Amino acid sequence: MIKYISIALIALLTISCGNTPKELAINSSGEEIQQEKKYEVTKTDAQWKELLTAEEYDVLRKAGTERPHTSPLNKQYAPGTLICAACKAPVYENEYKFDSGTGWPSYDRAIEGQVERDVDYKIGYARTELKCNTCGSHLGHEFNDGPRKTTGKRHCINGIALDFVPKGEELPALRK
């Protein structure tokens, strides 16, 4: 009996703690309330599927993970900006990249205000998920094992979630 109650409780928590992004707002009475976050770039699931490859869609919109050591961005250290592959918003500067040895591109910080943090329980415990603040696409996760001389953070990012724009080239317009 306790087993079934535990399973039901876990299912209820999973449903009530879904992946719909929330943000705090103040209602007309001055009370804090949670409401669904509105992104500058929003598309239907069908529109994202039309714009992205199957692999991009899995990572960016379904929070999948690319295989380690498969991204050409792992060894890309030239000066430039990394943009979200879904909406084309700038999210990282390559000057903050470092070799973490993990097999995924790693940065010690994002461009200020361009990446949001969320909580991800996908593998059974809480991790800090990193998302594009413009469209809500999944980029990767943040860990506390980055370079101690800078931020101490490691933004472990799926290379397929990013496009590289070399320094001096114009950034593309947002994909609205």
Residues serving a catalytic function are 156
- The helix (run of H) or strand (run of E) holding residue 3 is helix 2-16
3-class DSSP state of 33:
strand
The token duo for 152 is 């101490």
E strands, the chain, in order? 22-26, 32-36, 80-84, 90-93, 97-98, 106-107, 115-120, 127-132, 138-143, 154-157, 162-166
